[in-house]
Amino acid sequence: MLALPTNRALGAGSEPGTLRGDLAALGVSYDLDFLYSVYEENDTDTLNVFYRGTAAAVPSVGGVIGYTPEEIPLDRLEGNALRKLMCRYINERLHARFSVYAGDATVGRFKIVVDS
**Through-space distance between the first and last CA atoms of the chain, rounded to whole angstroms:** 37
Half-sphere exposure of 59 (CA within 13 A, CB side): 9
- β-partners of residue 22 are none
Question: What topology is assigned to 19-112 in CATH?
Answer: Nucleoside Triphosphate Pyrophosphohydrolase (3.90.79)
CB 77 within 8 A of CB 65: no
pTM for this predicted structure: 0.83
Task: Report pLDDT for 46.
Answer: 87
Provide the residue-wise pLDDT of the chain in tens; the chain has 116 residues: 888 888 999 998 889 999 999 999 888 899 998 999 999 988 888 899 999 988 888 888 777 888 888 999 999 998 888 899 999 999 999 999 999 999 988 899 999 998 76
